[in-house]
Amino acid sequence: MMKPLPVILFLLLTTVWQVRSEVNVFDKPTVSDDHRRMLSLMNEAHRRADYDSMAIFSLAGIRLGSDDALWYYNLACARSLQKRIDDALDAMNHAIDAGYTDAGFAEQDSDLAALRADPRYVACLRRMEELREKTPIKPLIPDAGNRVVCADTAVTWNYANNLFEAAVQPATVTNRPSGPFAPLLAEWTREGTADDTFPILYVNRDGDVSHPDLARYPSVIALDYPEEMVQRERHLGLPNMLFIHAKTGTRFPVIGNSAFRSIGNLADLSLPLYIGMEPRPLLEQSLLISSNQLYFYPVGIDFSMKGGDRFVAHQPITINVAGAVKSELPFVETAFAAILAMKPQTRDVLIRNGLLGTTLNMLFRASQKTVRKREDYLTRLAHPVAFLPGNLDSERLIRMAHDLPEDLPGPPPLEMVEETATRGQVDFFELPGTTENICTTPFSITRIFRGRQRTRRYRLKIAIREPVRIHWTLLQGDPAKVRISPTDEGAVIEVDYHAAFPVPALKDELQLTTCRVDVAAIAEANGYYSMPSIFSVYFLPNETRVYDDAGRIRSIDYTRHQPAYANPLISLRKNWRDDYTYAPDGTPLGWQRFHPLEWSAFTPEGDKILSRDAQGRPLRIRPVKYLLREVRRNDAPENGEDARSPSAPTARDIDLAEVDDGEIRAVNTP
């Protein structure tokens, strides 16, 4: 019997058989979430052998218009499993009409077993093979100016990666580079130890606001965007495309940049700051650097004397430049020259293994003027959250690129195995569903120190098989409050609470206040280090904490901000102070909450105490929950704040409000 359907899905399916063409490829990002959700539902129905529901979800996918070939193929599988042979073959033909050509996969797919004795199925396989021969992948081919346009006929959308994909077929270029490093590149090219005409793709993501001088590098192919992409603003912000070499099948080398900022109602963020705060973009951009792409971003106020160190995470996968628009361009041009300077066999091995981007990233770290000896790479000297233009040593980096061997280590992929548990609405107060886990990806793991415990314990694993040596190093934080214990599989890291602290300035470096502890894991093999993978713990600057000598929390004052920027997307404004109490034996008794004009008491489990007995024990309690509240413009500033200060309320400010969430309950007091 068919399972009952949710009302929304039922309404969606009532018109599913209406003729509907697949959405434009540049609109597919807007239906990605629905596509993945529908695919998950369909796969779950298939797993439990509910073929009626499998067919229904396939029909819903067709109606969505996200990928007609995929959904019609899945519908054919469902109909085959239902033994509805005519309907299955009809769906298969629709899949082929929509572009499905993988006859090899269809032949081994057990879902289609019921069709194999039917001559019409053999005809379907023949159609797939003919279609595949007639419609090869259309590559992007450069014009006379060495520019390519990613037209919709040559671009696909990969739902699994949430990225566009395209193939690039480079033209033959004989013109040589110009500029300060051209003689060095020409000399190495004559020797056969470099290739200064090697093709590289340049990707701009800010509408050409910040653009390098490509005339210096004739072999660099510039990516242009069609009007359909520009209208949808798919050409701005974070890079969103994987590129394949049309001839070799390897990931095409890409260098890119963007001065675009992510602007929203609550925060104005540079792209690398945003990447470190959101799991999906961080995963997507991690895939790009593992596909031979490297991007450069100016961070502006996010790492400056005016704004301080605003980074929640020290994510290492991009090169972030401390400066304004165009401050990243010398780094971009240095990256072009570094690829051209590599020995061809080394470059080809790095590209084949997807290590070109991470190796370039390592070179920018190792070649800085602050890194004077090899051991310096294992310190913060080599790993700033944002690179200073004055520390860029382009010639040194290019010479290092030329000397690279073929066998280089990649960054060690991190896994979080175990960590201190915290409870929302008891150990910390944010919107429901909020945790301390902000991002967990192979190259960057970040935790927010929300809970009231003084110490967090994290057990990390490195999922790597190659015989490499792993170095764990504290890049930033108080060594007395961070303990790193390497293990056979990774490390155990204990981090005590840090208030905002100044980071000692290096030569030509800004001295800024930060709220972040950074621990790097660096692989070493064949005398070379890898790009680091970084574990960060971020401490909230919109609160002030007091712990006693036993390590117990005594007070958290959310109205006293520390001298650091508090990102409103990470922690909401709160208008109270919590003072915690304990029994003589150390048992928690709960806390008292002080608002400007009132106070209340809470049990250790977070329920509000409404009355007590003669011994002070709770008699009646009520659960509470926490919701957003808009702060009106005419709200008075608190604690003597200047109304013009960043922390003073404005019409667009929001804070966290505590509201009743259930019936009053009596407490069974012993």
For residue 528, is pLDDT > 90?
Answer: yes
pLDDT the model gives residue 123: 96
Q: How many CB atoms lie within 10 A of CB 160?
A: 8
Range with lowest mean pLDDT among 149-153, 242-246, 383-387, 490-494: 149-153
pLDDT the model gives residue 134: 77
For residue 635, is pLDDT > 60?
Answer: no
pLDDT confidence tier of residue 639, bands split at 50, 70 and 90: very low
For residue 466, is pLDDT > 80?
Answer: no
Q: Each residue of 159-192: pLDDT tens digit? A: 989 999 999 999 888 899 998 999 999 999 999 9
- Of residues 137 and 79, more confidence is placed in 79
The percent of residues in the chain predicted with pLDDT above 90, rounded, is: 78
Report angle CA 112, 117, 121 to the nearest 5 degrees. 60
pLDDT confidence tier of residue 17, bands split at 50, 70 and 90: very low
What is the third-level CATH fold of 414-539?
Immunoglobulin-like (2.60.40)
Q: Each residue of 287-296: pLDDT tens digit? A: 999 999 999 9
* Average pLDDT over every residue of 542-561: 95
pLDDT confidence tier of residue 642, bands split at 50, 70 and 90: very low
CA distance 637 to 624: 26
> Which residue's structure tokens are 């860029």?
392
pLDDT the model gives residue 670: 58
CA distance 140 to 135: 15
pLDDT the model gives residue 467: 82
Average pLDDT value for the chain: 90
pLDDT the model gives residue 266: 56
Asked if the domains 7-134 and 414-539 are classified in one and the same CATH topology, the answer is no
CA distance 479 to 217: 46
Q: Each residue of 421-447: pLDDT tens digit? A: 999 999 999 998 999 999 999 999 999
* Average pLDDT over every residue of 132-140: 81
Q: The domain 7-134: what is its CATH number?
A: 1.25.40.10
The contacts of residue 67 (CB under 8 Å, 6+ apart) are 22, 28, 35, 61, 159
469 has which bridge partners? Answer: 524
pLDDT the model gives residue 504: 76
* Average pLDDT over every residue of 211-220: 95
Domain regions of the chain by residue span: 7-134, 414-539, 544-666
pLDDT the model gives residue 483: 98
Q: How many CB atoms lie within 10 A of CB 321?
A: 29
* Average pLDDT over every residue of 210-222: 96
Q: Each residue of 511-523: pLDDT tens digit? A: 889 999 999 999 9
Three-state DSSP at 422 gives coil
pLDDT the model gives residue 2: 39
pLDDT the model gives residue 135: 67
Do 521 and 472 touch, CB atoms closer than 8 A? Answer: yes
pLDDT the model gives residue 448: 97
Q: Each residue of 56-109: pLDDT tens digit? A: 999 999 999 999 999 999 999 999 999 999 999 999 999 999 999 999 999 999
For residue 10, is pLDDT > 50?
Answer: no
pLDDT the model gives residue 49: 96
pLDDT confidence tier of residue 460, bands split at 50, 70 and 90: very high
CA distance 373 to 419: 35
Range with lowest mean pLDDT among 184-198, 266-280, 308-322, 360-374: 266-280
pLDDT the model gives residue 7: 40
For residue 1, is pLDDT > 70?
Answer: no
CA distance 425 to 528: 47
* Average pLDDT over every residue of 331-346: 98
Dihedral, CA of residue 271, residue 154, residue 360 and residue 162, to nearest 10: 50
Q: What pTM was estimated for this model as a whole?
A: 0.89
